[in-house]
């Protein structure tokens, strides 16, 4: 049985547009069994705490949503349809010029993906942002803690989500991204 924990990660607040997204999810996605907001100054610790909560609750999947994401309520179901251990919707960094929050591997080393390189179909990547990511809970049974950290494993500038993706890859998991899912990373305007 599919039981998804919807986990919103925030350091301080949740954007109004994101709240609207969350309300749509809770109303329209029956697979979402529970909704948790994890607030605190350390995002990596927030994600760790959510995983522990999900393990205790016996959830099949964990759906991470960051405080500044805006998307259609069908997104978790579209990600679930891929039946991947780790799959995320592609979103952009909040800078101009914008670019995907995704790293690809080139000559055995990770590098930032450019907008021009984004394929039209779901693809495996080196690492991607966890701001809209669906993870099977069984993944966490095969990775040692900490699952998330602010320190890069391979001297890559990146956050706790890059750390997680690196650890997952080292444990034999693929990290998938679906670029076809419309999603906005909201700030002063939507990226």
pLDDT, tens digit, 9 for 90 and up, residues 74-118: 999 999 999 999 999 999 999 888 899 999 999 988 999 999 999
Architecture of domain 4-185: Alpha-Beta Complex (3.90)
Whether this prediction's pTM lies above 0.85 is answered by: yes
3-state SS track over the chain: CCCEEEEEEECCCCCHHHHHHHHHHHHHCCCEEEEEEEECCCHHHHHHHHHHHHHHHCCCEEEEEECCEEECCCHHHHHHHCCCCEEEECCECCCCCCCECEEEEECCEEEECCHHHCCCCCEEECEECCCEEEEECHHHHCCCCCCCCCCCCCCCCCCHHHHHHHHHHHCCCCEEEECCCCEEEECCCEC
pLDDT, tens digit, 9 for 90 and up, residues 117-174: 999 999 999 999 999 999 999 999 999 999 999 775 555 557 899 999 999 999 999 9
């Amino acid at each position: 049985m599919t039981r998804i924990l919807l986990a919103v990660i925030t350091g301080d607040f949740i954007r109004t547009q994101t709240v609207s997204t969350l309300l749509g999810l809770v109303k329209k996605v029956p697979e979402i069994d529970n909704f948790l907001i994890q607030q605190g100054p350390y995002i990596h610790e927030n994600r760790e705490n959510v995983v522990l909560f999900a393990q205790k609750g016996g959830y099949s999947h964990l759906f991470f949503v960051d405080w500044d994401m805006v998307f259609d309520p069908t997104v978790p179901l579209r990600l679930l349809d891929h039946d991947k251990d780790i799959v995320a919707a592609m979103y952009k960094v909040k800078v101009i010029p914008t670019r995907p929050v995704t790293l690809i591997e080139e000559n055995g080393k990770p590098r930032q993906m450019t907008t021009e390189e984004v394929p039209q179909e779901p693809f495996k990547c080196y690492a991607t942002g966890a701001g809209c990511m669906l993870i099977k809970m069984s993944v966490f049974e095969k990775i040692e803690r900490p699952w998330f950290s602010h320190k890069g494993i391979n001297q890559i500038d990146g956050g706790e989500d890059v750390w997680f993706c690196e650890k997952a890859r080292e444990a034999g998991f693929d990290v998938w991204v679906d670029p076809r899912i419309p999603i906005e990373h909201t700030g002063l305007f939507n990226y």
